[in-house]
A and B are shown apart, each in its own frame.
Chain A
Amino acid sequence: DAGITQSPRHKVTETGTPVTLRCHQTENHRYMYWYRQDPGHGLRLIHYSYGVKDTDKGEVSDGYSVSRSKTEDFLLTLESATSSQTSVYFCAISLLGTGDTGELFFGEGSRLTVL
């Protein structure tokens, strides 16, 4: 168990409201990722982080921002949620310190519904 938790696990919100999802790890891994998964699509990378205050965009970053002020927490923020952001969000960490080829460990997911 790589010690990764996501919160909240479920959230229902209204269009236009801000939403923050939190990913917390207990083992000091450098690389962290946020993916979303929608029916008919595989997982798609939103943003990733390669260290404190070091983040970069993934494939579907529009409408999302991230922050990593400390190693253990990686936050995903929807500044103004839209219905198209209804999805299941997965956080992942790389179990290799360099983020090089190796195993990713995924959290259990956060199901977000935007009405």
Chain B
Amino acid sequence: DAKTTQPNSMESNEEEPVHLPCNHSTISGTDYIHWYRQLPSQGPEYVIHGLTSNVNNRMASLAIAEDRKSSTLILHRATLRDAAVYYCILTGRGAGNMLTFGGGTRLMVKP
């Protein structure tokens, strides 16, 4: 399975944008890039996913490099509620959504 590499932790100030990087140099042509986050004492929560093009939704934006070997999750204005562990996950089409979670990035948001 293609692996992802994320920084262990990042800090941000409240109301500032946050860019969370993810490297996936062994990604295959059919792998989708998913982002989930997990708030303290809760189950993971879907954030966004994409294949080749950048994606936007109400929670975040996903910027995918042209060679697809890296991606960046963008939170446009961090709030205290965004403090969580963010997971970047690759999954192939038809894989039944069997997500393989790594260690993720722990985002700390300072007021």
Least Cβ distance of A97 to chain B in Å? 12
In the complex, B43 has a CB within 8 A of chain A: yes
B97 touches A104 (CB 8 A): yes
Let me know if A45 and B43 touch, CB within 8 A. Answer: no
Interface contact B87-A100, CB-CB below 8 Å: no
Of the stretches A67-75, A76-84, A106-114, the one at the interface is A106-114
Main secondary structure of the interface of B (DSSP, over half): loop
Q: Establish whether residues A102 and B49, one from each chain, have CB atoms under 8 Å apart when the complex forms.
A: yes
Contact B98 A48 (CB under 8 A): yes
Q: Does B103 contact A (CB under 8 A)?
A: yes
Q: Which of B54-102 contact A (CB under 8 A)?
A: 87, 91-102
| Number of B residues with CB within 8 Å of any CB on chain A | 25
Find out whether the CB atom of B103 lies under 8 angstroms from the CB atom of A42.
yes
A44 neighbours in B (Cβ, 8 Å): 101
Q: Is the CB of A58 within 8 A of B98?
A: yes
* Count, A-B residue pairs, CB within 8 A: 63
A69 to chain B, nearest CB (A): 20
A104 CB contact (under 8 Å) in B92, B99, B102: B99
In the assembled complex, how far is the CB of residue B34 from the closest CB belonging to chain A, in whole angstroms? Answer: 8
Q: A42-B104, A90-B43, A104-B46 are in contact. Are A50 and B98 (CB under 8 A)?
A: no
Tell me the count of chain A residues lying within 8 A, CB to CB, of chain B.
Answer: 26
Tell me the minimal C-beta distance from A20 to chain B in angstroms: 19
What residues of chain B lie closer than 8 Å to A109, measured between beta carbons? Answer: 41-43
Q: Which residues of B contact A48 (CB under 8 A)?
A: 96, 98
Are B96 and A99 closer than 8 Å at their CB atoms? yes
- Identify the A interface with B (CB < 8 A): 31, 33, 35, 42-45, 48, 50, 58-59, 90, 92, 94, 96, 99-109
Residues of B at the A interface (CB closer than 8 Å) are 32, 34, 36, 41-46, 49, 87, 91-104
- Can you show 20 pairs from A to B with CB atoms below 8 A apart? A31-B96, A35-B101, A42-B103, A43-B99, A45-B100, A48-B96, A48-B98, A58-B98, A94-B96, A100-B96, A100-B97, A101-B91, A101-B93, A101-B94, A102-B49, A103-B49, A104-B99, A107-B43, A108-B42, A109-B41
